Structure 1
Amino acid sequence: MSQETTQVGDNVASAYEELKEIGAAPLWRFYGNLFRKEPLSQAVPYHWSYERFRRSIEFFTGVMSLEEAERRVLMMVNPGLQDPPATLTTLFAGLQTIMPGETARPHRHTSNAFRFIIDGTGATTTVNGEVVEMRPGDLLLTPGWHWHDHVHAGDGPMYWLDGLDYPLVNLLEGSFAENLDAPRQEQTVPTGLSSRMFTHGRLNPAFLTPAGQSSPIGNYSWEQTQATFDAIGDDLEGSRSDGIILDYVNPWTGGPVMPTIGCRIARLRDGFVGQARRTSSNMIFHVVEGSGTTQVGDHSFTWQRGDTIAVPLWTWYRHMVAAGSHATLFSYTDEPVRRSLGFFREETREG
């Protein structure tokens, strides 16, 4: 190597070092990572067992007071997202419980949240002054910056799936949170009023003015969900990937229930074998009833009631249900965000 070539090399190396000093970096060295051919998530496909989670949370409920853990939540932490802990890069899932006689004090945060009730009766949540009952299969909304607290006046423990978008909110550095200096909110509207006003097909109260970007409905009840599935019946194939799948809808807009989270529920009939599908959105599936298997990428997860499965974006998934049985899957996704930004894509394939 000539002295001239060596000198050029030294000059280039020195120039690169100087870029660091001035707060710059050469795009040509990072181009392939900055503009990828397709999405690549740090999250991995994963399956959480309700049975094992419930045993663990029962233990901690027995040894920790409400003061030590006012919101008893076991986070579903993806192996690829340990610090900070998250279920997928934009979404969180956790199992929460509240015991008879307990009250989880009011707070609010910019993150949107919901509760999908798994087991128990007799508990309520209060959202911005409206008391909303909790029953298995119900979907309860807590839009961002809404006060919420939980009270259990019944018997036995209550269990529900917590879903939030705080990983996305934190990525956007948009987090605010506040505690209310009181053990409970004051009830300001009749119990369950939002559900009674809005969950009647396409009949919306014209005397109200739409406010905010989230659905005004506090509780999408399992009773009405079940009635919808029964009305549709078993004559339709539905989606080849997801069976008879229904959107929980904001009655003001006809769109998703919250601006960052879309919620769906699907009935997979006897012997269902789904077509493989992938989308550019993160998805979390929760088993409402039944059992089956879902292939996610190179993984095969056998699930039963109460289990939860994480499907990272742009990962193939495929549901299967054994002959002689059926299943119901609740799911939520960051698809509303992807669609609003023009990022959403999907593909299907056989097998």
Structure 2
Amino acid sequence: MTSPPPADVVCLGESMVTFLPSRPGPLADVPAFQRAIGGAESNVACALAGAGHRARWVSRVGADGFGDHLLRTITAAGVDTGAVERDPDRPTGVYFRTDGERATSLGGPGEGAGGPASTAEVVYYRAGSAASAMAPDTVDLAAARSGRVLHLTGITAALSAGCLALSRTLTAPYEGRPLVSFDVNYRVALWRPPADPRVLLELARGCDLVFVGEDEAEAAWGVTGGADAVRDALPEPATLVVKHGAAGATAYVRGGGDGSGDGAYGDGGDDAPYGDDRRVRVPAPRVDVVAPVGAGDAFAAGYLSAALRGLPLRDRLRHGHLLAAAALTVPGDLAEPPARADVDRLAALDHEAWGTLRLAPGWTTEKATAP
């Protein structure tokens, strides 16, 4: 077998065709839907490709029209899809959703029934999908390991026993392992009892860079007490990024080094030691939200893009916030990527200007300014 060409980041996981509502309201009342694509890992790959990086997506899709649509769309975004397997016996997954935020707790129909602040419905038709058949012997492991970074999410581990085995294989230590990035991406609908979401904690402990929401850590693992408590529960990764929703994000870097040299911290974020870590918190800009789905994936892509370029830790978090803002200001999972020069310009704002930055729909194609 020919070795795959090197990539900056390889993203492995399921992508599905998603149907977006033609108007707000419960699924039962939506008369029509618009086809798009959705998948945490392919979202990250597309965003990274849009930011100028060599991105590869590894997965399985059905030998059907929806699989054709996924491959065409993701390839057109500049992502290498050569390692995606076509399954003649299993379909490509699909899902329908309404506007609103995904839940982190059970409490009603669909994935979005997590309480009064969470109004989305998400209905999956993914059981028995081609991607659920991913396993160590059905995926090109050489392609999965061919990047400087391998990006995974906790969604894959929930899809099947084979997918969990694959996640464990790729997060296990071995010589020559790429940096493994892991977004916990807790999806309550995928972890209904007897499934145990503490598996996600086990997987995260084997990774080098972990992204997790403060609300996810509480819902999945019962960790309360803020970002420091999450770090205490997850001390193993060299870098941990704890997201606080609209409030911002906190990064913990073991030993204080992030590969960007001295003087890389501060100026626009709270910067203080925490045990043996460097701890940096950066607020998010204000965003006029259209739909919240896909923002976490875009944040991971922004952070990874800045890390690949060796930018300071503060700027890695700011790049994450800016790409998340691009996703938040469009109705689908994938946003028009802002130009790198524009993202660099905004990430370099001083503390006061960053604090007054507001991003509205269309900002990725227009000049965003701090009022």
Structure 1-normalised TM-score?
A: 0.28
Higher strand proportion:
1
Larger RCO: Structure 1 or Structure 2 (Cα < 8 Å, ≥ 6 residues apart)?
1
| TM-score, L = length of structure 2 | 0.27
More helix by share: 2
